[in-house]
Structure 1
Amino acid sequence: MPASKQILVATDLTARGDRPFARAKMLADVWNADRTLLFVNSAKTEVDIAKVEALLVRNYGEDTEGCNLAINYGKPPKVIADTALQLGSDLIIVGAARHNNISDFFLGTAVDHLVHHAEAPVLIVKERPRADYSRILVATDFSDCSAKALRVSLAFFPAAQIDLVHAYHVAYEAWLKSEGVATEMLSDAEKELRDFMDALNLSDTDSARVNPRLVQGNLHQSVHNMLDSGDYDLLVLGTHGRGGFSMATIGSRASEMMGWSPVDVLMVRNSG
């Protein structure tokens, strides 16, 4: 990983923000990156900088040492996206607000807006970090955006193994007509997957870390089932793709997947 990577961490100054902060510290150590903690104050009152610094130290401890501090005013999603652009951030890290119980995460319009507008990938941290990401699930629909999601995953996490999953659908009517139809559809999906991988032109090292997988059925449900296995510690989704991950549905399917995923989620936007 090249030096001087820039990580922007959005914080509300409370102790519940320790998870994104801790993940940012782990990534910064691996990447030799600079961290900027951003506090967005929506009120018109001036922020007491000394009080903010004291809260950061009290809630996040000595790991705040070496962090840059940014304080801006306005609506958090827009301010976070704008600040990341101004700083040239390579990654934005945010937390998922919890309510009702520990497994109930709600992201809502704030993170949707951020993912929709930020140029940099957005990492939504849900779990308490205990180790570097080692097993990553990347969903693909063979689009440019999912290709970018895979490339970003390979670049950000050079020691991780990556499962690249694509779901193909066989209509029930096709099964009724002929098993040969289903076999043909599987063959077509296998060819698409091979062509997708070939077009990426990955290095031998990166290719060895990617395990392409086909599953039959609904991608949304398939990803849910795979994450439930407990084998993965990060889900990566691209935006601008066709099907379930298009920007037009960021408020529905992709938002749902961010919401119910039991693991951290990295959203990679393809702005092309």
Structure 2
Amino acid sequence: MPVPTKILVATDLTARADRPFARAKLLADIWNATRTLLFVSSPKKEVDIAKVEAELLRNYGSDAEGCNLAINYGKPPQVIAHTAEQLDSDLIIVGAARHNNISDFFLGTAVDHLVHHAKSPVLIVKERPRAQYGRILVATDFSDFAAHALRTALAFFPDAKIDLVHAYHVAYEAWLKSDGVANEMLSDAEKELQDFMTGLNLSASDAARVSPHLVEGNLHQSVYKMLDDREFDLLVLGTHGRGGFVMATIGSRASEMMGWSPVDVLMVGKPD
């Protein structure tokens, strides 16, 4: 899987959208990728293209040079997904604004629609970019979709260290306090982890970058604690998993994890 060569950045062209714009610039420079800035407007409001271009240069300056500009009308999630497909974009980058109007992209139902309908991975930028992603946390449920998310992280960020975390649950732990049960569940999880890593068939260099972790209990609480230590730059989640839409592991709460994550989040959907 190659690094992205076409990046689509959803923006309202204002200064407050500087974080996704800056991250896109940093990644484009690293990957030698093209950037298309997408501005989505209400169908009831005709856009003055010259004014949009002037705002672009005023807010982003020389960093905007070389960007393509796309202007479309409609509801942002649908328009972003459709435009990305039209342009054959390898990555969609959006911000995490706390607003709820046509010019903003916000967490909630809008981002849910985008990440589950876009064919490209979606990067939600929360922090001000200061460097490349150096350490990445990938949550896994050992599904094929989780494997695809991990491979995507390895391909997109070839210099980053990756921590792979899986949470296993001790069945009926409130009633069964036997160490034997806990040890058996741990042994099963270790076997699954080993099979998962073997099935990935990673190169030696990629395998050396991945540090697997097994945690007992709740995956979401474990991920939150790991992110709260501020040692990671990026969280990677698959939007699908075991049983279709991940059920009790990741997918059913992927949007919630994306919402409370203090760091940027890369959402990776089904492989083609």
Calculate the TM-score normalised by the size of structure 2: 0.92
d(CA) in 1 for partners of 2:214, 2:262: 22
Q: How far is the alpha carbon of 1:250 from its aligned partner?
A: 8.8
User: Match for residue 58 of structure 1?
Assistant: 58
- Contact kept, 8 Å, 1:42 with 1:76, in 2: the verdict is no
CA change 1:218–1:243 in 2 (3 A) is farther
Q: How far is the alpha carbon of 1:244 from its aligned partner?
A: 11
Letter in 2 for 1:204: A
- Contact kept, 8 Å, 2:95 with 2:106, in 1: the verdict is no
Query: For 1:14-163, what aligned pairs fall within 5 Å after superposition?
Result: 14-98=14-98, 107-163=107-163
User: Match for residue 195 of structure 2?
Assistant: 195
CA change 1:209–1:251 in 2 (3 A) is closer
CA deviations 1:206-236 (Å, max 9, x no partner) are 0000001101100011101110011101000
What is the count of residue pairs matched by the alignment? 266
Query: For 1:208-219, what aligned pairs fall within 5 Å after superposition?
Result: 208-219=208-219
Structure 1 unpaired stretches of 5+: 100-104
Kindly indicate which of the two structures has a greater share of residues assigned to helix.
Answer: 1
User: Match for residue 10 of structure 2?
Assistant: 10
d(CA) in 2 for partners of 1:235, 1:8: 20
Calculate the TM-score normalised by the size of structure 1: 0.92
What's the Cα RMSD here?
2.2
Letter in 1 for 2:265: V
Letter in 1 for 2:159: A
d(CA) in 2 for partners of 1:52, 1:247: 43
- Contact kept, 8 Å, 1:149 with 1:237, in 2: the verdict is yes
Letter in 1 for 2:23: R
CA change 1:48–1:251 in 2 (3 A) is farther
CA deviations 1:63-85 (Å, max 9, x no partner) are 00000000011111011000000
CA deviations 1:158-185 (Å, max 9, x no partner) are 0000000000011324642x20110111
d(CA) in 2 for partners of 1:141, 1:27: 28
Structure 2 unpaired stretches of 5+: 100-104
Q: What is the SS of the residue equivalent to 1:213?
A: strand
Q: How far is the alpha carbon of 1:57 from its aligned partner?
A: 1.2
- Structure 1 moving runs of 4+ over 6 Å: 247-251
